[in-house]
Amino acid sequence: MTTDAGAPWLIVGLGNPGPEYAGHRHNVGFMVADLLAERIGGKFKRAQKAQAQVVEGRMGPVGPANRRVVLAKPMSYMNLSGGPVTALRDFYKVPTANIVAIHDELDIDYGVLRLKLGGGDNGHNGLKSMTKAMGAEYHRLRFGIGRPPGRMQVADFVLKDFSSAERKELDYFVDRAADAVECLVTEGLERAQSAYNS
């Protein structure tokens, strides 16, 4: 499936709303979305047609690679992300292949990035909800958080803040993830994969 160069992109940071979740591993999608909003000079505001916060703007150099983008943070909980994302897709007339979900990924080491189009949800409730609502043919930026230590339950691990050791590198990894999204949107999946899939 190819992306539509003229259509806008919908870039969705997945997370849980509310200050009590802000620093959690599960909210790394929100962190990347916040940085992208800063880069395009916008502030998140409530969407009219969906349970989400959005920023509209442009991404990339002046010229043919410049793209119209809508950044979004669903304000439902993670496992209900599909409803707000589908509503935004329909409102902004975004082809499914022009959607990027930014999410935490347990099966990748901390800070490692993987870009891909389509595929399974790997037990991730945000992706599961999105795929159920609109099919699997959207882009994903998987941000590695690693596996829980010892016998810690997965749910407890993802709903905890990054460790102090992880936080030392978090800004760098979030910055790199934002770069990867920009590369995907302006230069395409293959170029972004070769530059950022480590």
pLDDT in tens, 61-104: 887 778 999 999 999 999 999 999 999 999 999 999 999 999 99
Contact 138, 118 (CB under 8 A): yes
How many Å apart are CA 170 and CA 189, to the nearest integer?
24
Bridge partners, 161 (sequence order): 24
Q: Which two tokens stand for residue 156?
A: 């407890």
Strands 113-117, 139-144: parallel, antiparallel or unpaired by DSSP?
antiparallel
Looking at residue 2, its pLDDT comes to 56
Contact 25, 162 (CB under 8 A): yes
The one-letter amino acid at 178: A
The CB density around residue 121, as the number of other CB atoms within 10 Å, is: 17
Looking at residue 5, its pLDDT comes to 62
Q: Is residue 136 scored above 80 in pLDDT?
A: yes
pLDDT tier, 3 (very low <50, low <70, confident <90, very high otherwise): low
pTM: 0.95
Q: Which two tokens stand for residue 194?
A: 């070769």
DSSP string, 77-109: -GGGTHHHHHHHHHHHT--GGGEEEEEEETTS-
Looking at residue 143, its pLDDT comes to 98
Query: What are the tens digits of pLDDT across the range 14-46?
Result: 999 999 999 999 999 999 999 999 999 999 999
Q: Is residue 57 scored above 70 in pLDDT?
A: yes
Residue range 174-193: mean pLDDT, rounded: 96
Q: Choose, from 24, 26, 103, 139, the residue flagged as catalytic.
A: 26
Q: Is residue 114 scored above 70 in pLDDT?
A: yes
Q: Is 124 a catalytic residue?
A: no
What is the three-class DSSP state of 151? coil
Looking at residue 61, its pLDDT comes to 83
Q: Which residue has the higher pLDDT, 39 or 2?
A: 39
Q: Is residue 59 scored above 80 in pLDDT?
A: yes
The one-letter amino acid at 75: M
Give Cα separations from 131 to 88, 114, 147 (angstroms): 15, 18, 23
